[in-house]
Structure 1
Amino acid sequence: MHFSSRILVLFFTAMVAGNSYGQQKAVPYYPSKQEIREAYIRQNKVDSIFRSIPLNVNISPNWQQDGSFWYVKRLPRNTQEYDYVNGADKTKKLAFDHKRLAESIQAVTGKSQDAEKLNISKMFFSADKSTVSFKTSNTWLQCNLKTFKCNLTTDTAFKRYDNNKPLQVHHSRWEEVGRDSVSPDHHWVAFGKGGNLFVKNAESKKEVQITADGSLDKPYGEFCWSPDSKNVIGFLIDPKKTKEVYYVLSSVPGTTRGQLKSREYMQPGDDMTSFTPYIFSIADKKSIKINTEKIDFFGAPELHWRKGSNRYFTYEKVDRGHQRFRVIEVDVLNGNTRNIIDEKTNTFIYEQRIYTRYLPETHEIVWITEKDGWRHIYIVNDITGAQKLVTKGNWVVRDMDSVDTKKREIWFTASGMNAGEDPYFIHSYRIGFDGSNIVNLTPAQGNHRVVYSPDRKYYLDTYSQVNVPPVTELRLTANGAPVLTVEQTDIHALQAAGVKLPEIFVAKARDGKTDIWGVIYRPSNFDPSRSYPIIENIYAGPQDSFTPKNFSPVNEMQSIAELGFIVVEMDGMGTANRSKAFHDVCWKNLQDAGFPDRILWMKAMAQKYPQADTTRVGVYGTSAGGQNAAGAVLFHPEFYKAAVSACGCQDNRIDKQWWNEQWMGYPVGPQYEQQSNITNAYKLKGDLLLIVGEADENVPPESTYRLADALIKSNKNFDFLTVPGMGHSDGGPYGRRKKRDFFVRHLLQVEPPARELGEH
């Protein structure tokens, strides 16, 4: 061969093996029994290799009082070291001499110690760093770091800092509100008796009856005092008993009978306890019914009194059906009300992401809403109701960290602000109340996780992409300036082991404009001349987005890919963390599940990569993903040929009330039945495996049993696995094994190897 021709051949071969994988015609991959046996062995080896390679993708700092911290670093051979970082002098070093400390621990405790596997769970350094107190197993020791003389000691007085807890915790409307029965002036105690409100003089113990029309069936309760101790705010309660669901534990050891279990469980449309608010005057025993509707969704609300006033308070009301949210002001003198915030929508307000923080000193409310089409921050004057937009643009505020009332700054996370990168990547910011001086604390491209020091002087910024290894940097909070790089993940060992990193892929949605972002996993022995079945990992629950954004070289998707599949995941329309319009696709329409976008995405992938075989497409999912997976072969059998549905919400009337009414609407309408997988079971084409744990307390197992019943009555062939004693799950190790075997059997058309291989 001529030299130049050889160069061209080598160049072409490199192109085929590269990211493009070439555009040559691919031959469908159908492995022999021996090939699939080898694939199972290779899959198990890849999983084992990954578990043995230390990547240190998520550094967990143990902060000290001065802002320094230590952390545990994983090393090869399942060993570890303890590193110490000091931001003040920009240094990182070993926290101590591991060998000498191991010897000292052994001398004091009499227990053998491995210097590379020290078991230290808590550790605190003295101010001058000359001594360290730490807990190993259940023993506390104090050690001089110069002499390494150690002594038994007691638990340290230092408080351990929770890295995952935001500076200011948002009170969930589902949480019970704490109420004090004692009046602010400590003269009275409010309590219920016989369904009525009584108050008792704290000194004389004399009881005074305030109401007389309450009963045990409909009592007054949830009492709260006004700041001047002159009035009690309470509610006339109309209790509704929550209905029960049941399951049977069939295989309890030591028994010969199944055990019936029951628990309270609200389903869509069930009656809820309601609360009618009243104002009770202690002096004249008069009551005023507050001029507003009863509260028939959530419990009695938390009250927010206007600073310096005994006359006005506000409370929040989310209407059942999730289409109206209000902050309502009450005038205690007459019971009249007015709306400080009144948001209405034709689709839904995502209740779980409503954020309100009350600033009584300045009569302001920090409020996050999607009312302009994107999730943004507003400042609301709680006297005038005037609203001021703080953040704006075609991007999404993801979460709130804190509000600094002195500097008038808001600390938050957001995604989609940076042009040219994945719109789901999370970054941390702070901004002035007036929308000025926005600071991006995480400028690098990638998905960020920020952990602040207790004094907020420093923060750790860890960022990565699904196929780009993490970097962890220590930075100054004041200006975001870097202090030092703490860790930079080395993946050479991973690559040497043959692990193939996933690829990020973007294609247009059904509207031809919106980008749909997803990931592609291929087998490590990927052959560009072959075409492989596609398997989609699906979860289209509207409460979030689900495609991995952090470094994720090996997970279940890669593990399944090793058997001879291209495994993908993407977020279609109807999921969260994009625009309101993107999210609204799910409204009364969970059957949609983004399938039009998902199918177009996979077809676009196959257009670019002919190794993706769109004639052999499988799908699997758990919970809402189980509903989606079964829906794929019911509503889109022309594309999806095989599905594994685990503990799926197969009918939204059977699942939990709060989740399903949020997306499918209230009252329960015809869309619930029309979109039910059970109602549409007769449409099944292709292959389906149903998996359910008999003790599922999240989605009642009868959801899956009823789908099985409907399939049987429609004379449909399907596979069914019930796992005794298991709760809400994909079936555990056994269920995951059956899932892989199912796809091998139906998409690769070869019988999986016998289990005597022992690698499962």
Structure 2
Amino acid sequence: MASNTVRPHLAGMLALALLAGGAHAQGRTLSADDYARAARFLGFNAAPLVDHAVQDVKWLDDGHFWYVDHDARGDRYLTVDAATGKAAPAFDQAKLAAALAKAGGKPVKAEKLGVRDFGIAADGRLDVQRGGKRYLCDLKAAAPSCAEKAAKGGKEPGVLSPDKKREAFIRDWNLWVRDVATGKETRLTTDGVENYGYATDNAGWKHTDNAILVWSPDSTKIATFQQDQRKTGDMYLVTTNVGHPRLLQWKYPLVGDKDVTMIERVVIDVAAGKVTRLKMPPDQHRSSLCDDVSCGRDGGWDDVKWAPDGKTLAFVSTSRDHKHEWFRIADAATGAVRTVFEEQVPTYYESGNDQVNWFYLPESHEAIWFSERSNWGQLYLYDLDTGRLKHAVTSGEGNVTQVLRVDPKTRTVWFRGVGRTPGVNPYYQQFWKVGLDGGQPQLLAPEDADHTITLSPDGTYFVDSYSTPTTPPVAVLRRADDGATVAPVARADVGRLLAAGWKAPEPFTVKARDGRTDLYGLMFKPTDFDPAKKYPVVDYIYPGPQTGSVGSRSFAAARGDHQALAELGFVVVAIDGMGTPWRSKAFHDAYFGNIGDNTLPDQVAGIKELGKRYPWIDLDRVGIWGHSGGGNATAGALFRYPDFFKVGWAESGNHDNRNYEDDWAEKWQGLLVADKDGKGNYDDQANQNHAANLKGHLMLVHGTLDDNVPPYETLLVAEALIKANKDFDMLLIPNVHHGYGMPATLYAMRRRWDYFVRYLAGDTPPSGFEIKAPKPD
């Protein structure tokens, strides 16, 4: 009898549950207005609403710099006298706008000039860079005018000599120089042939017409190489078009290849046209910093440094697996090479963060060497005569990240560093100086913030722009000897941004996979956030190992589309897991030799901790997305943690690093090793080998002309999913590269929003919404 009375009650409860479940599954229907509101928080809409945010300045000479001051009225170009700290208009913007408009035949707004760089030419005219062109402008004439500064000679990109009189460039696999004033061209080498050329720029994932070389300080000699890739394997792509496709073919060495690209180092006497080969075997096409011989922000050859007198040069050779470094000195006249000292490490060596941090000091017969041998990135002083370590220049916890200046006369080093001040976020860059002969480093930029530093050419002053993800930048002019403030430069105002509804991301810390190590991240919530609701989570991931998910800790009005996506009803998080840089060496080494890890154990642990901390986080609805390495990690997340990650959007992933260029993976995973049965150390990292585990919704995206991560990487995963009879989605974007460009980037973004709205939130997206970027002026 009791059972008869219970059954109707249970039936009613079941009916209510089914109704509730149906309503939840159906969800709400988002409108075009909802998407438009989200798009307000994309960078091209949000960044212009920040006023007086000075994070980048350029020095005109030792005592003057310029910057752009932006506000609601537009842009003002200002120059500052460092001695007084006083700012003044850099030029008459109305006159320049009129002159540029006349020269280009199109209207130019004075408040939106779009000038990227400028200087003063020898004849007093303004030398202006705008829209990829350079102009010489006379603003003092009765009728101001600008004339396009046409390059004399060929169009090959050149490397300017220190005296600015000549530039070196590549033509037909040989190195040439061009006289800047006359355009006269001189051929320096004659034996360069196809795939065995001089100064050629080809890392497989990157291949350009730029020349990789270093001029001597007196502009008389060039250090470069003859790059041998004659036996290197090829990569192929084809265009999508009506008619016969065009075949794209270039050299692209793969992990485990017997023959990879090598370099033969040379010194060229420009006046004599004499090529001196360094007396050593061919060197690996490797860098002490990145996965190319050229890593620097200026596109130079970072691991080569000339002596001031141009008689010798120092360089660092790196083994194929990045575990062995040799510091060497070459005689520029004879080509004789001497190995001074070397360092071997069990995992991989790096010479800094974003910059090579070793320096050649021939006057004192010393070298500054960067090493993580103490578990932290520190500077060490070596004797060049004996090759012996003299002493550590810096020590303790925290890293030297970038040495910005070395003064051999005062024996002083200025550097950026992280994690060196207790209580300060370990990702915040601060600025220090230290003596080469020891002593405690002096903190010159002490604010608890991330500091961007721009030193004057002579090192007397520096502009310090400091901010955090939640506080806008403050820029000040300081003295480099003691950090004293000379004058304020600008203080950002986010009033208009706040009026548009913007809210800062929320920094958080969670524990790593080990339950002890702190991980740092950012959280983005809808601006109409309701703590009484349950929100699905989208995890944005870039697993490294060369960088992390969060990116810069400086202020940014927008970080990708994180806030925009959050507006559609999500909590978006980014977490820098173990295995990413900027922390200790042990932290960075966390998944060395196991790329398939991809920080995923940390992502899972961190999100679960957030779910326990905040009841409004729905751990039953967790999605993930990323591009490139993040695309690899996204597919890996759905394959390795199929019960946790329900929806993934994987863009342009290097899903099996045996199909990626040799240098990147051989550094982080190690050299390819296989047993007699063919099983090896690269099997587990291959996403296609785990594809049968897929349970959730997965979108695979790739550009068909991706010459960094070839599209075959994604097709390997697609093939495995088909063989496993798994449902998945795929978007191939015709004729785009690793970065999709416009309008494909915005199209993919809108499709990504739709995907998470539909499959993670259970809502219905608007049909065919188009994200539009503002048209350039």
TM-score by length of 2: 0.74
Three-state SS of the structure 2 residue aligned to 1:459 is strand
Cα distance, 1:45 vs. partner?
3.6
Three-state SS of the structure 1 residue aligned to 2:546 is coil
In 2, are the aligned partners of 1:428 and 1:442 still within 8 Å (CA)?
yes
In 1, are the aligned partners of 2:523 and 2:572 still within 8 Å (CA)?
yes
Residue number in structure 2 paired with 1:208: none
Residue number in structure 2 paired with 1:362: 364
Render the CA deviation track for 1:464-518: whole Å, top value 9, x for unaligned: 1111111111112232111222111111221122112100001121223221000
Cα distance, 1:349 vs. partner?
1.9
| 1:246 has 2:236 as partner | yes
In structure 1, distance between residues paired with 2:660 and 2:707? 10
Residue number in structure 2 paired with 1:266: 253
Structure 1, unaligned stretches of length 5 or more?
Answer: 1-27, 157-164, 168-174, 181-189, 196-232, 279-288
Render the CA deviation track for 1:336-377: whole Å, top value 9, x for unaligned: 998642322222223786643222222211110111211111
Q: 1:378 aligns with which of 380, 385, 405?
A: 380
Cα distance, 1:613 vs. partner?
1.2
| 1:698 has 2:713 as partner | no
Structure 1's 642 and 306: CA in aligned 2 closer, same or farther, altered over 3 A?
A: closer
Residue number in structure 1 paired with 2:629: 624
Structure 1's 325 and 493: CA in aligned 2 closer, same or farther, altered over 3 A?
A: same
Q: 2:731 aligns with which of 702, 721, 725?
A: 721
Structure 1's 296 and 472: CA in aligned 2 closer, same or farther, altered over 3 A?
A: closer
Mapping 1:149-160, distance limit 5 Å: 151-152=144-145
In 1, are the aligned partners of 2:703 and 2:733 still within 8 Å (CA)?
yes
In structure 2, distance between residues paired with 1:72 and 1:236? 42
Residue number in structure 1 paired with 2:5: none
Three-state SS of the structure 2 residue aligned to 1:519 is strand
Three-state SS of the structure 1 residue aligned to 2:595 is coil
Three-state SS of the structure 1 residue aligned to 2:658 is coil
Residue number in structure 1 paired with 2:588: 583
In 1, are the aligned partners of 2:540 and 2:625 still within 8 Å (CA)?
yes
Three-state SS of the structure 1 residue aligned to 2:718 is helix
Residue number in structure 1 paired with 2:80: 85
Aligned residues: 654
More displaced stretch, 62-71 vs 707-716: 62-71
In structure 2, distance between residues paired with 1:276 and 1:498? 57
In structure 1, distance between residues paired with 2:62 and 2:175? 37
Structure 1's 66 and 578: CA in aligned 2 closer, same or farther, altered over 3 A?
A: closer
Cα distance, 1:533 vs. partner?
0.6
Cα distance, 1:69 vs. partner?
3.1
Three-state SS of the structure 2 residue aligned to 1:711 is helix
Q: 1:551 aligns with which of 526, 541, 555?
A: 555
In 2, are the aligned partners of 1:502 and 1:553 still within 8 Å (CA)?
no
Residue number in structure 2 paired with 1:281: none
Three-state SS of the structure 2 residue aligned to 1:630 is helix
In 1, are the aligned partners of 2:540 and 2:549 still within 8 Å (CA)?
no
In structure 1, distance between residues paired with 2:129 and 2:191? 53
Three-state SS of the structure 2 residue aligned to 1:449 is strand
TM-score by length of 1: 0.75
Residue number in structure 1 paired with 2:271: none
More displaced stretch, 268-277 vs 398-407: 268-277
Structure 1's 38 and 150: CA in aligned 2 closer, same or farther, altered over 3 A?
A: closer
Cα distance, 1:142 vs. partner?
3.0
In 2, are the aligned partners of 1:33 and 1:753 still within 8 Å (CA)?
no
Residue number in structure 2 paired with 1:140: 137
Residue number in structure 2 paired with 1:395: 398
What is the percent sequence identity of the aligned residues? Answer: 32
More displaced stretch, 345-354 vs 723-732: 345-354
Mapping 1:243-322, distance limit 5 Å: 243-251=233-241, 255-270=242-257, 271-272=259-260, 295=283, 298=286, 316-322=316-322
Letter in 2 for 1:91: K
Quote the RMSD (CA, aligned, Å).
Answer: 4.6
Q: 2:35 aligns with which of 23, 35, 40?
A: 40
In structure 2, distance between residues paired with 1:262 and 1:87? 51
In structure 2, distance between residues paired with 1:504 and 1:363? 46
Letter in 1 for 2:53: V
Cα distance, 1:419 vs. partner?
1.4
More displaced stretch, 639-648 vs 607-616: 607-616
Residue number in structure 2 paired with 1:476: 479
In structure 2, distance between residues paired with 1:539 and 1:244? 28
Residue number in structure 2 paired with 1:345: 345
In structure 2, distance between residues paired with 1:272 and 1:576? 27
Residue number in structure 2 paired with 1:688: 698
Structure 1's 740 and 666: CA in aligned 2 closer, same or farther, altered over 3 A?
A: same
Structure 2, unaligned stretches of length 5 or more?
Answer: 1-22, 150-159, 163-169, 177-187, 194-222, 267-277, 288-292, 294-300, 675-679
Mapping 1:630-645, distance limit 5 Å: 630-645=635-650
Residue number in structure 1 paired with 2:765: 752
In structure 2, distance between residues paired with 1:668 and 1:717? 33
In structure 2, distance between residues paired with 1:566 and 1:374? 34
Letter in 2 for 1:631: G
| 1:323 has 2:309 as partner | no
Render the CA deviation track for 1:302-338: whole Å, top value 9, x for unaligned: 999999999x997643222222222368999xx9998
